[in-house]
Amino acid sequence: MKNTLLLILVLLSLNVCSQDFISSKVSFKDTILDENRKSPFDYVDPFIGTGGDGHTYPGAVIPFGMVQLSPDTDMKSYHESYNWCAGYQYGDSSIIGFSHTHFSGTGHSDLGDILIMPTAGKLRTKSGTKNNPDLGYRSRFSHKNETASPGYYSVKLDDYNIQAELTATNRVGFHKYTFPKTDSAHIILDLLHSIYNYDGKVIWSSIRVENDTLVTGYRQTRGWARNRSVYFAIVFSKAFDSYGFDKDDESMYGYRKTDNYIYEKPEVNGKKLIAFFNFKTKEEEIIEVKVGISAVSAEGALNNLKTEIPTWNFNKVKLVAENQWQKELSKIIIEGTDRDKAIFYTSVYHTMLAPVNYMDVDGKYRGLDQNIHTANDFTNYTIYSLWDTYRATHPLFTIIQPEKVSDMVKSMLAHYDQSVHHILPVWSFHNNETWCMIGYHAVPVIADAYLKGIRNYDVEKAYEAMISSATYENYDGLDYYMELGFVPIDKENEGASKTLEYAYDDFTIYKVAKEMGKDDDFKKFENRARNYKNIFDKETNFMRAKKIDGSWNEPFDPLYSKYGGDYTEGNAWQYTWYVPQDVQGLINLMGGREKFVEKLDSLFIVEAHDEKYHEVEDISGLIGQYAHGNEPSQHIAYLYNYAAMPWKTQQRIHQIMNNLFDDTPYGICGNEDCGQMSAWYIFSSMGFYPVCPGSNEYVIGSPCIEKATINLDNGNKFEMTADRLSEKNIYIQSVKLNGKNYDKSYITHDDIINGGKLIFRMGRKPNKKWGIKNADLPYSMTKAGAQ
Amino acid sequence: MKNTLLLILVLLSLNVCSQDFISSKVSFKDTILDENRKSPFDYVDPFIGTGGDGHTYPGAVIPFGMVQLSPDTDMKSYHESYNWCAGYQYGDSSIIGFSHTHFSGTGHSDLGDILIMPTAGKLRTKSGTKNNPDLGYRSRFSHKNETASPGYYSVKLDDYNIQAELTATNRVGFHKYTFPKTDSAHIILDLLHSIYNYDGKVIWSSIRVENDTLVTGYRQTRGWARNRSVYFAIVFSKAFDSYGFDKDDESMYGYRKTDNYIYEKPEVNGKKLIAFFNFKTKEEEIIEVKVGISAVSAEGALNNLKTEIPTWNFNKVKLVAENQWQKELSKIIIEGTDRDKAIFYTSVYHTMLAPVNYMDVDGKYRGLDQNIHTANDFTNYTIYSLWDTYRATHPLFTIIQPEKVSDMVKSMLAHYDQSVHHILPVWSFHNNETWCMIGYHAVPVIADAYLKGIRNYDVEKAYEAMISSATYENYDGLDYYMELGFVPIDKENEGASKTLEYAYDDFTIYKVAKEMGKDDDFKKFENRARNYKNIFDKETNFMRAKKIDGSWNEPFDPLYSKYGGDYTEGNAWQYTWYVPQDVQGLINLMGGREKFVEKLDSLFIVEAHDEKYHEVEDISGLIGQYAHGNEPSQHIAYLYNYAAMPWKTQQRIHQIMNNLFDDTPYGICGNEDCGQMSAWYIFSSMGFYPVCPGSNEYVIGSPCIEKATINLDNGNKFEMTADRLSEKNIYIQSVKLNGKNYDKSYITHDDIINGGKLIFRMGRKPNKKWGIKNADLPYSMTKAGAQ
């Protein structure tokens, strides 16, 4: 779908009924198409990030959709599956099938629910191996026969000469398979298939063949999520001639068995259910399959299916999906090179693949307490990769998705209500808390929204939930933290990182408490926000893990990292900078700006010693010790601003942009992480970044695109222009905001939301005088100049 | 609770609010108390049947209640658990704890959900063994410290000096534990415990410690039912000081562990969850525990709990339960010996332990399709041991529970609606079909109700469901049966029994079809009802298994039985008589009355060869080859009536009554089978029995009690009097019905329902002239005298 004009014409001729579609405010022709007559949509390449450590998937999905229908190329065991977190790796040459749920960009995984695969010829009910696809039903494919665009994916399955096309609505995956002429066409339904697979992951599953076009059931897994069920309803466009099951099923009761299969058994329960449905097809005969999913019940899944896709019109569903993307992708329009646009718009695309809708069309959803709840006044969202996304993804949403921000807060408050711990989500998805990563970073997400004036939820309850999360003694050493002011490493692993991140989270409570007039709390949390100081070692000039007796953890090697060590997916070099709330305080600890900058320079230079953290897969995208591929580093390049040397930030930003992003499948240097890496790119390419959510500031870096226009929901526009930007003109010479010279090295949220024009004048040499006065530096708890 | 007068006084003084209780129409003082000033309630002994093969349980339950709260004494593996189908064996000397769901009298099992056990002293989280109770938390007990009455159970747990008392409402178990003084009182919650236990039976379970008095969760099992979840909510009357879990739990995430346990972890998921709650108690301190259960959700369980038992008043709940029993037990009032009354009223009690309620207080229940449904206009029941209970239990319900009969039919029609097979239940419980036993015996249950005029349900749908069940090709050789007129043993096991039972079931459809004017169907099913003839072997004079080529299965031994052989839990001797719809046809096949009676006499004489069916545990209660302990024999003693020799029936009935029933724990000679054995006793002791449900007739045997008054819901009374009955006066001399001499050897359903008086005059010698004219014989499809 590369020709948008054609798309529009087709759309107009189809009388598509979706309200989303009809009510679209964007006039494609006038607003979206660029000089190449291409829209943002046309530049999105879902393959970006599908190679290497990006962990994105190329499949079909709508913005924030419950269904992520995508090909899986491998199903690795628990300990080997890092590379296949999204089910797909660009380097693979065979496809197992198409499953309906995926994480975008994560470094831990699960999902891959309800895999469907069309085959022809000899029936195979095991998936086979990458080395020998012929052992199973998987098929070879090549990228030349594979296309992907927002809401659509297509591939030719070479082993079977079947063309597979996918599209989706919110809760329904739509498969279109074009078969060759054959007496033995099959559609496989594999409920054993799973991302992050291991023996025993499927707790139980059930298939009911309701009639010769409708199949329902569920599967329940104990993966990363320990208590997760996906119910499904599958409708075929053509009645199957016969059906059966792989005999390895632990079945409920025995029917007559023939050869290796069990036939015509309309209800099976087991842990290894793999079903097949047989057809005869004519040359180029199309069989379509709609798969509704639900966390509530099979009834809910069928209701979702019938409501969202009542008819058989693949193209119409695809066009509705594409239009939803057009609308979302038009929220920021940029000018720049084709490469810029590909990376930028794909980044925007990637920020809208999580959180995802998690409720049925009737508003019912399964809560963290496993009970069925109804979301009466909000859209319930799930997949909160908060350790990643509180940094830039959620702040981006405050700009381009303000309505969804309130719903996300409401979803997190529902989680809080349903939590037996009475705390906000940590890393949650599909009504499960995984307890993955550290911190209580739902707190800065809510605080950031609140402080920016997004308050369409129960603010008192939100406040209560933040306090409750920050004071839950049983959580990850919080009891010690509250008593001692740091998390002692001999009592709780990763104590150094936890201390730093708690202190930042506490800062955001301090800001909210102050705003809300909670006098007692704000002082308490203001103090807690300075707890980072308790683990700064003046001798080594690093943040370090401290023991309960106050001594440092030994031996100490600032390069060393391991899971469960002193730091979280990082080392002392990377974590020492984690004081976004008080960079000036850190500068002071380090002995002033000069020493701070010297050390910061070193970060980008100290040689990487891969063997020092070879176990920590997440540390990637290295420049010296700076690891752009993982979150703890992602704010660091902006810290020069605080030391009044913004030109060094400008230089580093361009270095990162040029070296660690490209528009190929391998173009994301580390886990995309549910939009965080992309949000970093979106902000940074526009020239500013939310170093410290909760401060309402965006620290100015250096723009990497010529122009960006943010079309705000309130009708305002915020335009960024980078005059004279070129490969060499990477340094800010001067800035104008709304026509006036602007010397601060940050802008505020209001500056954006109120609309306006931000003009950077770029040049080849640094302007070392811009943005360096104390009054012009970004926010720190400690005032610049003070000790 | 042996003093009913006291009970009544206490009830009156308590102002019990239950509507059931207040609205009771029975005036205890006038109607119920006998010359001993005892009511039916006082004669019930729940221990009858708890020893040997009876498989009843002694615990606390209300009539048809969802909760069956009872002690479990053993938890055997799948293959060894026959004796512990109800969780309890009278011969055992230690109790594991008290679980909330039990089958009454079955020969296959499951359940034993949500076990609670109070202990004191050293904490143990494994249950221990019968040989060495000290290895676990189980406790020794003795029967002298154990009491049971309807709705109440009490036992002293000797190892801990704890008095445990139990009572129940429909959906809530109420535990009252009186502790000694101790610093280490514990209440164990064992979700691993299960009846019919085996490794892997618990699929998944979850415990949430909501606060220090409320615990919720669920457990999901794949036992006999392959897809079953029980949700629970547990409320303690006193806050526990601490809590924890056995460390063998496969837990969701790790907290600090101390010694062998995991403490203070408010949410765990796993397959082996055993929790403990710790208390300090004073001497004789009472801790009460309420446990609500639900098949829908933990929320539903809590709602059930709060609705049914909002306060802490154990005695009140117990009294309400007892009153419900008083009401039900007063439906038939008898005169006779204390022994007669103990057996009779306990039998009535046992007929009301299944089916059981299966929906929450808000009407929601989990259906066979695993979806949540709402029973808007009926009470949903589960536990349908239909192969057993279609014979006499359900016919008894048509007399004393007509309202519940309609609800049971509606429940079975809901099952039909939710069945992917589109058939009625076979052996179903807790939204699962077990496919246990043979036949489609929901059909005669519905047919019997319909033909008796109980039609408060969608009769057209009921008819459709009956036809659908009788024509479902994939079920147990029905395809062959429909084609060949018998089930060929080389294609389907137990083909002889299946042919016979299908033919009987078909007879009931024939009767309904005729009544409804379904002309085509009635002829078809009339023909099918005669299919029994296809497997009668004139040479051996036995019903035999036939092969698809028409030859008999060889070798043939009429004594031999094995599971999955030619017959179902029986041999040729036992199954040959299974033609209740056409006994005259069988007489004809056998060559006339003389040969028939000769063979029938032999049945009771041929020596039992235990080694011929030692594997078939269900064959028990033997008189010759007659096995009263299992259902295939239970109509046979009545068949002499059809051969015009009713005095032989009279003799056999008294022989069976006197030899195979008593009022001790070992008083039931075979599986009580969800009321079937008891219904046999109730009918037979009153002098008549429904040999052929669907005929609307009850064949007269010989009364064994002096008088019985059935208090019908329509206000009528039906009185049976056995004049001159004594140990030796077992033969009917003459009969009067409503004052007129009565020579028929059966009565009709209308005779009972219209009210009236049936007077038997008994004597020492048979009156061989009574009940022998062809016109006076019970119904057969083939007319007496015809060939």
Residue range B710-749, pLDDT digits in tens: 999 999 999 999 999 999 999 999 999 999 999 999 999 9
Q: What is the mean pLDDT of residues B416-441?
A: 96
Instruction: Quote the percentage of chain A above a pLDDT of 90.
Output: 87
Residue B197: its pLDDT value, please? 85
Which residue from A208, A222, A435 is facing B369, i.e. has the nearest CB?
A208
Contacts of A372 in chain B (CB under 8 A): 297, 299, 372
Position A5 pLDDT exceeds 50: no
Taking an 8 Å cut-off on Cβ atoms, the answer to whether B420 and A255 are in contact is no
Instruction: List Cβ neighbours of A534 (8 Å cut-off, separation of 6 or more).
Output: A484, A485, A486, A499, A546
What's the pLDDT score for residue A12?
40
What value does the mean pLDDT of chain A take? 93
Q: Using CB atoms, pick whichever of B204, B208, B265 lies closest to residue A222.
A: B204
* A267 in contact with B, Cβ within 8 Å: yes
> Does the structure show a pLDDT above 90 at A98?
yes
- Name which of A220, A297, A369 is nearest B371 (Cβ-Cβ): A297
B267 reaches A (C-beta below 8 A): yes
State mean pLDDT over A87-109: 97
Residue B320 is predicted with a pLDDT of: 97
Which residues share a beta bridge with A211?
Answer: A214
Q: Is B227 on the interface with A (CB under 8 A)?
A: yes
Please report the pLDDT score of residue B78 as a whole number: 59
The per-residue pLDDT for A180 is: 98
Is B96 strand, coil or helix?
coil
Burial classification of residue B562, based on how many CB atoms lie within 10 Å of its CB (0-12 exposed, 13-18 middle, 19 or more buried): middle
Residues from chain A that touch B265, judged by Cβ atoms under 8 A, are: 474
Structure confidence at residue B27 (pLDDT): 41
Measured between CB atoms, does A421 come within 8 Å of chain B? yes
The bridge status of strand A332-335 relative to strand A707-711 is antiparallel
CB of A551 within 8 Å of a chain B CB? The answer is no
Q: Is B374 on the interface with A (CB under 8 A)?
A: no
Q: Do B420 and A266 touch (CB under 8 A)?
A: yes
B458–chain A Cβ distance below 8 A for any pair: no
Whether B474 and chain A come into contact, CB under 8 Å, resolves to: yes
Pairing outcome for strands B202-209 and B267-270: antiparallel
pLDDT band at B386 (very low <50, low <70, confident <90, very high): very high
CA distance B681 to B670: 13
At residue A203, the 3 state secondary structure works out as strand
Is the separation of the CB atoms in B157 and B116 below 8 Å?
A: no
Report the SS3 class of residue A138.
Answer: coil
Rounded-to-integer distance, Cα A572 and Cα A541, Å: 10
pLDDT band at A198 (very low <50, low <70, confident <90, very high): confident
What is the average per-residue pLDDT within B654-679? 96
| Number of residues written out for chain A | 787
* Least Cα separation, residue B481 to chain A (angstroms): 16
- Span A720-731, mean pLDDT? 97
Rounded CA-CA distance A182/A159 in Å is 14
Q: Is the pLDDT assigned to residue A261 strictly greater than 80?
A: no
* Angstrom distance (rounded) from CA B506 to CA B513: 10
Tens of pLDDT, residues A604-657: 999 877 778 767 777 888 999 999 999 999 999 999 999 999 999 999 999 999
Label residue A77 by pLDDT band (50, 70, 90): low
Contact check, Cβ <8 Å, B420/A209: yes
Mean pLDDT taken over chain B: 93
Per-residue pLDDT at B543: 98
- Is the CB of residue A264 less than 8 Å away from at least one CB of chain B? yes
A269 CA: distance to closest CA in chain B (Å): 7
B208 touches chain A (CB under 8 A): yes
pLDDT band, residue A331 (cuts 50/70/90): very high
- Contact in structure between B632 and B568 (CB atoms under 8 Å): yes
Closest CB from B216, B269, B370 relative to A227: B269
Within an 8 Å CB–CB cutoff, is residue B479 touching chain A? no
Instruction: Count the residues in chain B.
Output: 787
Confidence band for B252, pLDDT divided at 50, 70 and 90: very low
User: What are B41-84's pLDDT values in tens digits?
Assistant: 999 999 999 999 999 999 999 999 999 999 999 877 656 788 99
- For residue A410, pLDDT over 60 is answered with yes
pLDDT confidence band for B689 (50 / 70 / 90):
very high
- Residue B79 is predicted with a pLDDT of 64
The pLDDT of residue A197 is above 50:
yes
Residues of A in contact with B220 (CB under 8 A): 203-204
Q: Which of residues 637-666 of A touch B (CB under 8 A)?
A: none
A272 shares contact with chain B (CB less than 8 Å): no
Q: How confident is the model at residue B15 (pLDDT cuts 50, 70, 90)?
A: very low
CB A396 within 8 A of CB A452: no
Separation between Cα atoms, residue B596 and residue A182, nearest integer Å: 62
Please report residues of B whose CB lies closer than 8 A to that of A222. 204, 269
B269 to A226: CB separation less than 8 angstroms, yes or no = yes
d(CA B510, CA B525): 5
Q: How many CB pairs under 8 A join A and B?
A: 77
CA-nearest residue to B299 within chain A is A371
B212 touches chain A (CB under 8 A): no
Residue ranges in A126-175 assigned as alpha helix (H) = none
pLDDT at A142: 98
Handedness of CA B307, B312, B313, B318 (dihedral sign): positive
A473 touches chain B (CB under 8 A): no
Query: What pLDDT score does A200 carry?
Result: 87
With a cut of 90, say whether residue B676 has pLDDT above it. yes
Confidence of residue A256 (pLDDT cuts 50, 70, 90): very low
Q: Does B255 touch chain A (CB under 8 A)?
A: yes
Task: Spell out the SS3 assignment of B319-383.
Answer: HHHHHHHHHHHCCEEEECCHHHHHHHHHHHHHHCCCCEECCCCCCEEECCCCCEEECCCCCCEEC
- Bridge partners (DSSP) listed for residue A661: A668
Which residues in chain A are contacts of B299 at CB distance < 8 A? 369, 371-372
Among B266, B298, B421, beta carbon nearest to A370: B298
Check if A698 contacts B (Cβ < 8 Å): no
* A298 at interface of B, judged by CB pairs closer than 8 A: yes
Q: Do B204 and A216 touch (CB under 8 A)?
A: no
- 8 Å CB contact of A222 and B269: yes
Q: B297 vs A267: CB contact, 8 Å cut-off? A: no
| Mean pLDDT across B438-451 | 98
Crossing angle between the packed helical segments B593-603 and B646-660, to the nearest 10 degrees: 10
The confidence band for A252, taking pLDDT boundaries of 50, 70 and 90, is: very low
Query: Which residues from chain A sit within 8 angstroms of residue B435, using beta carbons?
Result: 252-253
Tell me whether A83 touches chain B (CB under 8 Å). Answer: no
